[in-house]
Every structure is written in C-alpha cells, then in structure tokens.
Amino acid sequence: MATKFHLGWFLQGSSVQAWGEPWTGNIGTDWMQPRFFMEMAQNLERVGFDYILIEDSSYIGESFNGRGIYLNAALSVPRQDPSVVAALMTQVTKRIGIVPTFGTFAYPPYLLARLVATLDQVSAGRIGWNMVTGSSDYAARNFGLPGMPDHDLRYDMADEYIDVVKKLWASWEPGALVADNQTGVFADPSKVHSVDFEGKWYKVRGPLNSGPAPQGQPVIAQAGGSPRGRQFAAGHADTIVTSVKGIAGMKAYRDDVRARAKALGRNPDHIKLLFLVDPIIGETMEEAEMKKARKAARAAERLHERLAHFGKTLNIDFSTMDLDKPIGELTTNGHQQSLDEFKKKAGNKTLREAMAEWNSTSLCVELLGTPDAIASQMEEAMQEVGGDGFLFSMPNVSRRTVAEVTDGLLPALQARGLVRKKYAFEQLRDNLLEY
C-alpha cells in the first residue's frame, strides 16, 4: 500500500490574491471581505487538507526603488492581520488546521501566547502558528526598532521567545479547568502557575489569562532554511515548510532536519516536512504545456515585479542593478536560503537571464500534466524524498485554481491512496501525526 502524505496550502496573506491574474472575479474590491478565504477553507477541508498556512508581513515593500511598484501591482500588499481571517475560517470548518503567521519581533511573547491559545480555543484545537523571526528593516521600524537584529541572532532570540511562549501555554496544568456547577469551582488555583521568566531578552510573569489551549501546546510551523534556521526548526517545529529546489535538495534538506531533530532528542517522525509546489494542471498534457508557456511569458512580461517581490524577501534593491550584467556578489540579512539557491543557479548569467530561469523553474519540484500524471509525479517525489507532503503555493489563486486542485487533482490522489479521504482526528497535531 502506498504511504500517505500530507497536504497544506500556502495562502499569500489575508489579501488580494493574484492581482491581475485571470478568473479572479472582482478580487480587487472583494478582498476586504473574508468570503473567498472562508469558502477556500471549506473546500480544502472537503478533500482532507491538513492545513492552510496564511503568510504575513507587516510592512509595505520598498526594496525596488520605493513603494510604487508594490502598490501598483499589489505585491505582498495589502495585508490584513491574519488572526482575523484565521478566526473566521475556524468558524466555518471543523477539521482542517488553520496556521496564521506571526513574527516574533512584532508581538510580545505574552500577547502571542494569548492570541494563539485563544485561536486554539475557538477552533477546538486546530491552530498552528507559523513562527517567523521577520527579516525586514522596514518592518522592524514599524515597531520602534532601528532595524532587524542580525540573522542568526534573530534565531537565538526566537529560541528564548518560544521557551517563554511554551511555558505560558503550560501555565495551566491539565485539569486546571474544573467548571463544576455543583461546587461552583471554575478553575483550580493550585494548577495555574506563574512562569516568572527572566531571560536575556524577555521577561514575563504569567500565568496566561486566556486559559489553556485545547492542544496544550498549539502546533508550530516553521520555515528555517539556513543552517541556523534549520537548527531552530528541528528543535521546535511540528511541521516545516520549505521551498528548497529539486529532489536531491529536498531529500538532503529533510535528512538534515531529521538528523538535527534526532540529535536534539526529538522523534524526527513528529516533524512533518511539506515541500512547496505549484502544479500546472490541465485536462490534457497539451493544455498543461500551454499553461506553462503562458506562465513563463507572464513572468518575463513582469520581470520588474518579480524582481521587486524577490528583492523584498532579500532586502536587495534589484532596481539599482543592470539587468544585462552578471549578478555579481550579493549578500542578505533576509532569507538566506533563497539567495544561496538563486546565486547557485545564476552562476555567470545576467540578472535578466537568471531571473527568467528562476521564474520558469518550479518551486520544489515540477508538477505538470493531467491530474493522474501529477498524482504519479507526487507519488514518485515522495518515494525518493521519503516524506512528508506538499504545500500548494499557486501564483494565481482563484476559485478556479482551487477547484482544479480540490476537484481535479485530489480525487486522483485519493484514488491511489496517497492522501486521506477523511480526517481521523479533531485536532491539528493528531491529524499531522496520523501517518
């Protein structure tokens, strides 16, 4: 019997999805209302997705000669606070996990622990927190900071941060909630404790006043790609999402994170690694090939936008560079792994050529063809990599693209026994650990 794998969806923020793409209806004005996101959550739940991850950042990009291009083209803007749409999604679903992103630099740990515990309560145990350190000086300045701390230091601080958050979540022991109508006792004071945390960067008294989270410790998602980031993820994450490219890279990444987790005394099987994919699904192979060509043409037409978007995650202003010269030496205090992969692929190519190639290559692995063909490709990839699943990241999210996945691809995956047909459990972590 085939080994099952997990599925997630990477939603580009609580925002305009796919501005300028076809079949997006009136998204330019409808995005403020949550209807599309709520329907999407219901549709993904109908076919057994493990979770939806809601990306976030808390600033408007400026890394491409100012803000103009970001606002014109709706590049990572607008961004509603993801906790609101996450809460709304939980109210129209019963099983799927909802995983909003919160940056450690933007939320004091007490506020974060309380927010995530509250979301876990209203979802009856289906919340994950996509734990990011943040990487942009522009974002840092929205919170009174002069800029982001150095890359590795951010993870050192995050180690301490997560320690406090976990202690706050544990500040209500199991059994602390009594709610006994007979005796009139609501909570047992002997089971609710201060945390009295005093570390290098954070100081928190506790206990958490929201009460306990149904999962005890809500699920933690992470996407560390650099060696320091992987070490962090291996130590704390229940699920890791990554965009590392190619089967060999995916396997190496997974083996590395699992080895790190083992060395830290964790069971590597308790960490589910999901690989970013953007399948191009057609009714026929010809249709899929046509869509692929259209996608490449669109990327070439929108070269500046793609550079602006990429530059935002790297804190690099590509507008100052000559498109027709080799990329030369580039460094970042932002997403290190993406830059390393980009530089490796670019070699001596010009920026224009390197970006064209970067945009035309698939995310982790190419998935192209009919639903049946893609189901085979996914099966093969998982056999080679060893697990644990895929995170869909479609650049053209719309009701149509969601339906291509839920009603086109998923039946093919389910028929092969590669994914679940229905949920075995009510809470997110239990469903992640089902297989």
Ligand X SMILES: Cc1cc2nc3c(=O)[nH]c(=O)nc-3n(C[C@H](O)[C@H](O)[C@H](O)COP(=O)(O)O)c2cc1C
Distances, alpha carbon 299 to alpha carbons 154, 353, 411, in Å: 33, 12, 30
Helix, strand or coil, per DSSP, at residue 79: coil
Distances, alpha carbon 185 to alpha carbons 118, 175, 207, 209, 415, in Å: 22, 12, 19, 17, 51
Residue 339 makes contact with ligand X by CB under 6 A: no
Among 223, 261, 314, 409, binds ligand X (CB under 6 A): 223
Among 237, 241, 307, 355, binds ligand X (CB under 6 A): 241
Helix, strand or coil, per DSSP, at residue 221: strand
Q: Closest separation between CB of residue 342 and ligand X, Å? A: 12
Residue 226 makes contact with ligand X by CB under 6 A: yes
Instruction: Kindly write down the DSSP assignment for every residue of 116-135, as one continuous string.
Output: HHHHHHHTTS-BEEEEE---
Residue 238 makes contact with ligand X by CB under 6 A: no
Closest CB to ligand X among residues 116, 391: 391
CA torsion 324-325-328-331 (nearest 10°) is -30
Q: Closest separation between CB of residue 130 and ligand X, Å? A: 6
Instruction: Kindly write down the DSSP assignment for every residue of 282-331, as one continuous string.
Output: -SSHHHHHHHHHHHHHHHHHTHHHHHHHHHHHHT--GGGS-TTSB-----
Residue 276 makes contact with ligand X by CB under 6 A: yes
Q: Which of 170, 80, 174, 89 is nearest to 127 (CA)?
A: 89
Q: Closest separation between CB of residue 224 and ligand X, Å? A: 4
Classify residue 151 as exposed, middle or buried by CB count within 10 Å of its CB (0-12, 13-18, 19+): middle
Closest CB to ligand X among residues 134, 214: 134
* Sign, Cα dihedral of 242, 247, 252, 255: positive
How many residues belong to the site for ligand X (CB under 6 A)?
A: 23
Using the rule CB under 6 A, give the single segment among 167-175, 222-230, 292-300, 410-418 that binds ligand X: 222-230
What is the footprint of ligand X within residues 112-151 (CB under 6 A)? 130, 132, 134-135
Using the rule CB under 6 A, give the single segment among 112-120, 183-191, 240-248, 349-357 that binds ligand X: 240-248
Residue 15 makes contact with ligand X by CB under 6 A: no
Closest CB to ligand X among residues 24, 130: 130
What is the footprint of ligand X within residues 32-61 (CB under 6 A)? 55-57
- Using CB under 6 A as the criterion, which residues of the chain lie in contact with ligand X when the complex forms? 10, 55-57, 101, 103, 130, 132, 134-135, 223-226, 229, 241-243, 276, 335-337, 391
